[in-house]
Amino acid sequence: MGLCHGKPIETPENLSGNSIIQGDNNEHALNSTGKTPKFPFYSPSPLPSLFKNSPANSSSVTSTPLRFFKRPFPPPSPAKHIKALLARRHGSVKPNEATIPEGSECEIVGLDKNFGYSKSFGSHFEIEEEVGRGHFGYACSARGKKGGLRGQGVAVKVIPKLKMTTAIAIEDVRREVKILRALSGHKNLVQFYEAYEDEDNVYIVMELCNGGELLDRILSRGGKYAEEDAKDVMVQILNIVAYCHLQGVVHRDLKPENFLFVSKDERSSLKAIDFGLSDYVKPDERLNDIVGSAYYVAPEVLHRSYGTEADMWSIGVIAYILLCGSRPFWARTESGIFRAVLKADPSFEEDPWPNLSPDAIDFVKQLLNKDYRKRLTAVQALSHPWLAGHHDVKIHLDMIIYRLVKAYICSSSLRKAALGALARTLTIPQLAYLREQFTLLVPSKSGLISLQNFKSAMVKNSTDAVKDSHVLEYVNGVSSLQYRKFDFEEFCAAAVSVHQLEGIASWEQHARSAYEFFEKDGNRPIMIEELASELGLSPSVPVHVVLQDWIRHSDGKLSFLGFVRLLHGVSSRSFQKA
Ligand SMILES: Nc1ncnc2c1ncn2[C@@H]1O[C@H](COP(=O)(O)OP(=O)(O)OP(=O)(O)O)[C@@H](O)[C@H]1O
Ligand SMILES: [Ca+2]
Ligand SMILES: [Ca+2]
C-alpha cells in the first residue's frame, strides 16, 4: 500500500480488452521533440490501427465504427490555455508565449497559492492508496483519524501547487472547491467533506466511490448498454446536471470518466465528480473560454459563446456511446474531431440503432442538435418519453422557463396571441412537462401564479452557488416585471420554446395547426409599419419589400410566413442577418 505522492502514471491503460494500440496518430499526442505539447483539450483516443477496413479509416468525420475505445492518453495540459489554441489555430501567438514551458513552474513568481483552507490535513487523515489520476492531480483513499470521520474511508483529491502555474489554474481550484461545497448533498454528486492545504498541495476530501468510473463499466460490458440500463445511468446524470444548471453551474467536462459508481454492485448509484472546469453562468450570459474534452465538446463552445446547453450536448454524446458503443464524432486528430462536431451528423443507421426504440433515438437526436437553442434542457430530457416515468426521475425547476416567460412578458400582444395559438398544439408529454413546472411554481388554490411565485420557488431551491452565479439577481429581475397572474393556459403560451419546437420532426404540423388557431382567434389586418414595429424593427430598417410577403394581400392579415416570423420575435439584428 504505497503513499500516493509522486509523479503521474505515464502509461495509459487500455481498458478495451484489446491490445494497446501502437503508433497512435493523434496529432498532438507527441510533438517532434517527443514532448507533450500544451493544449486546451484532452487528447482524443482514436484506434486507427484497429479499423483498417472500417469507414472511419476512410473518412475523418464518421463515428467510431467499433465498440471499443480505450482511455484517453494522459492529456497534455490543463484545459484553459486559449492562447495555445489560438496559436495552433491562427499562428497568432508564439508557442512560448501561449504556454508555460515545461519545467518552468518553479520560476513562476507572484502567484498567491494560499487558499485559506485548514492546514491540518495530516492530523485528520491517513492516506492509503492511489485510486485514480487526472491531469491536475491524483486521488487516494484515506482514513479519518479524528472527528466525525474517524475510522471512515474517504477519497482525497490531491492537487499539487506546483501544477498551478497560472492565476487561472489557481482560480479553477478555488472554484472547484467552492462549487463542490455549495452543491454537495445531492444524491448523484460526490459528497464533499472538507478542503485542506499545505505548502505543496490542496487536498479535497470527499466520499470514496469504490465502484469505478462509468467509462470502465461501459468498457467491461463490451462498450454497450442495454436500453433499460442506459436509462438508469442517464436519469442519474440528468438529475445532477438539472440541479447544477438551476444553481447556475455549468460542469463543462461531462464525460464517462467523470462519473463514479459508489460500489461495484450492478445497481450502484452514480455520482458526478470533478468540477475542476465548472463555472458559474447566469441565465442570460454566454461564456467564451474553450474548455472541455474534445469528444464531448459542444459546437457552440468551439464558437466561444455558450451556456448550460453545452453540458446537454456532452450528455448527448454520453447517451450515444452508452447505447451503441461508438463515439458520435470521431476522427484521428483533434482538429478532425472538432470538424466533425461542427459539421458531421452522427450516424443512426448502423447497428444497433435500427433495433433501438424510436424514443431512445429521438432522445439522443434532441441532445445532439448543433443549434443549442433547439436542444433539450436537463429537465426536459428527464421529461422526454424515453425517460419519463422512470422511478428515479426527479423533476427540478427549469431555468429556461424563466427566460421564456421574461421574453413573453416583453412581447407585443400580437406575438402573445401567436404563442397562445402555438401552445394549443402541444402534445400530452410536452404539456406534462409544463404542468410539472407550473406545479413547482406553486399555484394558488384558484390555479394562478404570480411573478412573485417565480422568485419564491427559486429561493426555496437555492444553494450557496446561486450567490456566485447571480441566478437570484436574474430571477429578481424577472419577478419585478409588471404582469398579471398566469393561469396554466397562458403559462403554456409564455413557456413554450419556439426554437425547441422547430427542432423536432413535427414542427411543420405544429406551425400549421397553430396558424389555423391564430386565424380564428388572433389574426387581424395589419399595416406594414405596424408589423415592423411588432417585430421590433426600427423604422430605419428598409424592410418594406420583404415584409409584403408576411402580409396576405387578399385581406391584409398575417400570412403563414409572417406568423412564423412573429413567433420567433424577429429583431432588427436578426432580420438584417436573414
Ligand atoms: N471520490 C472519489 N472516489 C474514488 N475515486 C475518485 C474520487 N474522485 C476521483 N477519483 C478518481 O481519480 C480520478 C481523477 O480525479 P479527477 O477527475 O477529479 O481529477 P482531475 O485531475 O481533475 O481529472 P481530469 O484529468 O479529468 O481533469 C478520477 O477519474 C477517479 O478515477
Ligand atoms: Ca476527471
Ligand atoms: Ca478535472
Which ligand 1 atom is at minimum distance from the Cα of 176? 22
In tens digits, the chain (578 residues) has pLDDT values of 333 332 222 222 322 222 222 223 333 332 333 333 323 344 333 222 222 233 333 333 344 333 334 444 333 333 333 334 433 333 333 333 332 233 334 445 689 999 999 999 999 999 999 999 988 889 999 999 999 999 999 999 999 999 999 999 999 999 999 999 999 999 999 999 999 999 999 999 999 999 999 999 998 887 789 999 999 999 999 999 999 999 999 999 999 999 999 999 999 999 999 999 999 999 999 999 999 999 999 999 999 999 999 999 999 999 999 999 999 999 999 999 999 999 999 999 999 999 999 999 999 999 999 999 999 999 999 999 999 989 999 999 999 999 999 999 999 899 999 999 999 999 999 999 999 999 999 999 999 999 999 999 999 999 999 999 999 999 999 999 999 999 999 999 999 999 999 999 999 999 999 999 999 988 988 888 788 877 777 666 676 777 778 888 888 899 999 999 899 875 544 444 44
Given the residues 253, 289, 311, 398, select the one marked as catalytic.
253
Q: Is the CB of 134 under 6 A from ligand 1?
A: yes
Backbone angles phi, psi at 545, to 5 degrees: -60, -45
Q: How far apart are CA 420 and CA 567, in angstroms?
A: 10
Unique residue bearing C-alpha cell 438584417: 576
Which CATH number is associated with domain 214-382?
1.10.510.10
From the CA of 549, how far away is ligand 3's center (Å)? 53
Ligand 1, atom 20: nearest CA belongs to which residue? 134
Please give the C-alpha separations between residue 368 and each of 244, 387, 417, 467, in angstroms, as whole numbers: 20, 17, 31, 31
Q: Residue 259's beta-bridge partner residues?
A: 272
Helices (H), 196-345: 214-220, 227-246, 299-302, 309-324, 334-343
Contact 271, 459 (CB under 8 A): no
Our CA dihedral for 89, 94, 99, 100, rounded to 10 degrees, sits at 170
Q: Is the CB of 135 under 6 A from ligand 1?
A: yes
At 56, which helix (H) or strand (E)?
helix 55-58
Q: Is the CB of 157 under 6 A from ligand 1?
A: yes
Q: How far apart are CA 50 and CA 47, in angstroms?
A: 6
What was the pLDDT predicted at 33? 33
Q: Is the CB of 139 under 6 A from ligand 1?
A: yes
Backbone angles phi, psi at 14, to 5 degrees: -105, 110
Return the closest-CA partner of residue 153 out of 237, 265, 263: 263
From the CA of 155, how far away is ligand 1's center (Å)? 9
At 494, which helix (H) or strand (E)?
helix 488-495
Q: Residues of CATH 1.10.510.10 domain(s) within the chain? A: 214-382
From the CA of 555, how far away is ligand 2's center (Å)? 62
From the CA of 115, how far away is ligand 1's center (Å)? 21
Q: How far apart are CA 300 and CA 316, in angstroms?
A: 14
CA 349, chain centre distance (Å): 26
What was the pLDDT predicted at 539? 64
From the CA of 274, how far away is ligand 3's center (Å)? 5
Which residues lie closer than 8 Å to 337 by C-beta, 6 or more apart? 44, 294, 295, 329, 330, 331
Ligand 1, atom 12: nearest CA belongs to which residue? 132
- Beta strand 138-144 with 153-160 is antiparallel
Q: Is the CB of 547 under 6 A from ligand 1?
A: no
Ligand 1, atom 4: nearest CA belongs to which residue? 209
Give me the residues near ligand 2 (ion), CB cutoff below 5 Å: 134, 258, 274
Q: Is the CB of 190 under 6 A from ligand 1?
A: yes
Q: Is the CB of 159 under 6 A from ligand 1?
A: no
Q: Residue 154's beta-bridge partner residues?
A: 142, 207
Q: Does 253 participate in catalysis according to the annotation?
A: yes
Return the closest-CA partner of residue 274 out of 209, 321, 320: 209
Q: Is the CB of 137 under 6 A from ligand 1?
A: yes
CA angle 63, 65, 69 (to 5 degrees): 90
Omega into 76 within 30° of 0, i.e. cis? Answer: no
Question: Ligand 1 pocket test: which of 135, 193, 260 has the largest number of ligand atoms within 8 Å of its C-beta?
Answer: 260
Q: Residue 445's beta-bridge partner residues?
A: none
Q: Residues of CATH 1.10.238.10 domain(s) within the chain? A: 399-577
Which ligand 1 atom is at minimum distance from the Cα of 132? 12
Contact 441, 468 (CB under 8 A): no
- Beta strand 125-133 with 153-160 is unpaired
| ipTM score | 0.99
Return the closest-CA partner of residue 203 out of 116, 114, 117, 79: 117
* CATH homologous superfamily of 399-577: EF-hand (1.10.238.10)
Q: Is the CB of 172 under 6 A from ligand 1?
A: no
- Indicate the SS3 state at residue 470: coil
Return the closest-CA partner of residue 207 out of 189, 219, 224: 189
Q: How far apart are CA 164 and CA 108, in angstroms?
A: 10
Ligand 1, atom 23: nearest CA belongs to which residue? 134
Q: How far apart are CA 457 and CA 461, in angstroms?
A: 6
Ligand 1, atom 26: nearest CA belongs to which residue? 134
Return the closest-CA partner of residue 402 out of 532, 282, 563, 252: 282
Which ligand 1 atom is at minimum distance from the Cα of 271? 1
From the CA of 257, how far away is ligand 2's center (Å)? 6
Question: Ligand 1 pocket test: which of 263, 274, 275, 293 has the largest number of ligand atoms within 8 Å of its C-beta?
Answer: 274
From the CA of 150, how far away is ligand 3's center (Å)? 28
394 labeled binding residue: no
- Indicate the SS3 state at residue 522: coil
Q: Residue 293's beta-bridge partner residues?
A: 42
| Interval 286-309: pLDDT, tens | 999 999 999 999 999 999 999 999
Q: How far apart are CA 555 and CA 519, in angstroms?
A: 12
Question: Ligand 1 pocket test: which of 41, 42, 127, 131 has the largest number of ligand atoms within 8 Å of its C-beta?
Answer: 131
